[in-house]
Amino acid sequence: MKILVVEDEPALREMMCEMLSAEKYTVESATDFDTAAQKTNDYEYDVILLDIMLPGGSGMELLKTLKKEKNPAHVLIISAKDSLEDKLEGLDIGADDYITKPFHLAELSARIRSVTRRGLKKGSDTINYGNVSLDTLTRKCFVVQTEVQLVRKEYDILLHFMTRPEHVSNKLTLAEAVWGDNIDQADNFDFIYAQIKNLRKKLQAAGADIEIKAVYGFGYKLVKE
């Protein structure tokens, strides 16, 4: 998953980013309202960790914009404000959860897993499509009950498609989701083709009944054979 950390406090932002990167998430960050607004407009995220009090504007206003534009990202508000009114306002606007400072990083990690389970995996830590399943806690892939050994990027690509089957992802969207925002500095996306080619071979060899198909002129999508 791709996560945006919107937090102006350097030490906390760095700790959150390091923890999430260690848990194999693709992590980007923003330190102020304008940067966060630009990133959420230009890129897609699965989860946004959003501080309320930001230089240049309010996190609540950014949340309103995200919901108005029907941005699909899960939003978890992070704030030093612990009043019931602030919590209710954030949840009423459309936040998925609300955590107050100070907090344990382990709790933040659990909250992230919780909100994504609700939205993408219907309460389960396992994503299934066809005879393929992904355990998002252990980051393992199975065809029926046989494990398929995937490297990190292969797993991330398959996770991207398994959470949006039959949905076409162009090369830029796929690259951003798996490699982060700096991917727009790349000269080409040949490496995506190489990763998908290897992933296809492994799934086919394991007897998977799903396939990542090329959609000429658009990108790729995951389908059942």
The CA-based angle 34-35-39, given to 5 degrees, is: 120
Same domain as 211, residue 111: no
Same structural domain for residues 79 and 135? no
Q: Do 52 and 82 share a domain, yes or no?
A: yes
41 contact partners, CB below 8 Å, separation of at least 6? none
For residues 7 and 115, membership in a common domain is answered with yes
Do residue 116 and residue 152 come from a single domain? no
Shared-domain flag, residues 161 and 81: no
Segment 153-163 mean pLDDT? 88
Question: What rounded mean pLDDT belongs to the chain?
Answer: 86
Cβ–Cβ < 8 Å for 133, 124:
no
Catalogue the E-assigned strands of the chain.
2-6, 26-30, 47-51, 53-54, 57-58, 74-79, 97-100, 126-129, 132-135, 140-143, 146-148, 210-215, 219-224
Decide which of 120, 148, 168 is a domain's last residue. Answer: 120
How many structural domains are present in the chain?
2
Answer yes or no: do 108 and 167 share one domain.
no
Out of 77, 102, 120, a domain closes at: 120
Q: How far is CA 34 from CA 11, 41, 59, 72, 92, in A?
A: 20, 11, 11, 20, 23
Q: What CATH number is associated with residue 53?
A: 3.40.50.2300
Q: Are 113 and 133 in contact (CB under 8 A)?
A: no
Token look-up 């009423």 returns 92
For residue 194, the domain's CATH number is: 1.10.10.10
Judge if 43 and 82 occupy the same domain: yes
**Which residue, of 105, 120, 135, is where some domain finishes?**
120
Q: State how beta strands 126-129 and 97-100 pair.
A: unpaired
- pLDDT, one tens digit per residue, over 67-113 is 988 888 899 998 876 666 777 888 888 888 888 888 889 889 988 98
Measure the CA–CA gap between 112 and 47, rounded to whole angstroms: 8
- pLDDT, residue 121, reads 47
Q: Which helix (H) or strand (E) holds 197?
A: helix 190-205
Structural domain for 197, as ranges: 126-224
DSSP 48: E
* Residues 114 and 135 occupy one common structural domain: no
The verdict on 82 and 65 lying in the same domain is yes
Q: What is the pLDDT of residues 13-27, one digit of tens each?
A: 999 999 999 988 889
**Domain identity same for 155 and 208:** yes
Given pLDDT bands bounded at 50, 70 and 90, which one contains residue 140?
A: very high
Q: Measure the CA–CA gap between 52 and 102, rounded to whole angstroms.
A: 14
Please state whether beta strands 210-215 and 219-224 pair in parallel, antiparallel, or not at all (unpaired).
antiparallel
Residues 14 and 96 occupy one common structural domain:
yes
Share of residues in the chain with pLDDT > 70 (%): 91
